[in-house]
Structure 1
Amino acid sequence: MSLPLTNHSLEKLEQLLLAMGFKVRYEKGNFKTGACLLEHNRVIVVNKFSNLEGKIAALVTLIKQTNPDENLLDDKQRQFFHSLQQMELF
């Protein structure tokens, strides 16, 4: 399975992270393309100047590293999470 590089895919990833208890923020800054996970605040900071592919790749990578409480997810989100776990990155 491959995730389409669209704004809709980015929104689905953001909604999944929100359901998992994370807040996603887009900030401009002097950091490389990618994301930073602040453990105690459960905030993911993504460089707003990254291209769409970079944003999606960063969020998928973080989701793959996360072990969420699946009780927080509805059936569609749980299915999406499991499909992301099986996905090879671009």
Structure 2
Amino acid sequence: MKYTQNNLDKIERIAEEAGYVIRYERGNFQSGYCILQAKKVIVLNKFFQTEGRINTLIDLMPQLEINFDALTHESQKMYDEVMSAEAHK
């Protein structure tokens, strides 16, 4: 997968369609993100470049509660791509 702003937007859209709010903040992040499960908020390190943001969201995807059927067709395709890339790690 290419590390472009367009791909970052698509991955963010998956989380947003699943009901998550993505915020970019600064702070002491052990692995670049923090999940507030009760509120469905994902907080990412705002100092990450596009590649770091994409990698962090891809690493995070398996932990999120995502209803595949509720995603748009475009998001379903990207979700499949993200999950297959994560499985090959």
Compute the TM-score of the two structures, normalised by the length of structure 2: 0.85
Q: 2:6 aligns with which of 1, 5, 8?
A: 8
Structure 1 range deviating more: 45-54 or 32-41: 32-41
Q: Which residue pairs with 1:70 in the alignment?
A: 68
* Partner SS for 2:24: strand
Q: Which residue pairs with 2:57 in the alignment?
A: 59
Identity %: 32
For structure 2, the residue ranges without an aligned partner over 5 or more in a row are: none
Measured in 1, the distance between the counterparts of 2:74 and 2:29 equals 33
Q: Which residue pairs with 1:39 in the alignment?
A: 37
Deviations 1:31-84 (A, max 9, x none): 245111111010000010112211111111111333411221112211211111
User: Deviation above 3 Å: which 4+ runs of structure 1?
Assistant: none
Q: CA RMSD in A?
A: 1.9
For structure 1, the residue ranges without an aligned partner over 5 or more in a row are: none
1:33 to 1:72, Cα distance in 2 relative to 1, 3 A: same
Compute the TM-score of the two structures, normalised by the length of structure 1: 0.84
Structure with the higher fraction of residues in helix conformation = 2
CA contact (8 A) 1:23 1:44 kept: yes
Q: How many residues align?
A: 88
Q: Which residue pairs with 1:87 in the alignment?
A: 85
Higher relative contact order (CA 8 A, sep 6+): 2
* Partner SS for 1:40: helix
